[in-house]
Amino acid sequence: MNDDIGALDDLQHGIEFDGQELAVELDMENGAAKWAVLAGRISVDPYNEDAKRRVPHVNLSVFMDEVMECLSPDEFASIIAMVRTHCNRLEKVHAQLLQARAEYH
């Protein structure tokens, strides 16, 4: 948070990490726009009232304005594993698509 008072609980340290940009079709009039998925920030809010925020954590922007906040290392590892599993499923779907296109006349 930013305010004119500069209260200690507003102090935050961290570093952002990029996500993968995807071209997302927003609507017929505006066409596609690039949106980053799985971008985020490693943060620590040393004076925050919430104990989870006072230690380093990840805030992960899943898509657009949807954010998973205050992920611990274990929670973040769980998300990574789920995304990896999903990507493996997507590779199977890709193979099915290739087969379907090969058989399409």
DSSP for residue 5? S
What pTM does this model have? Answer: 0.81
Environment class of 57 (CB within 10 Å of its CB; exposed 0-12, middle 13-18, buried 19+):
buried
Confidence of residue 98 (pLDDT cuts 50, 70, 90): very high
Domain edges within the chain: 1-71, 72-105
The answer to whether residues 60 and 40 touch, using CB atoms and an 8 Å cutoff, is yes
**pLDDT by residue (tens digit) across 14-70?**
999 999 999 988 887 888 889 899 999 999 999 999 999 999 999 999 988 899 999
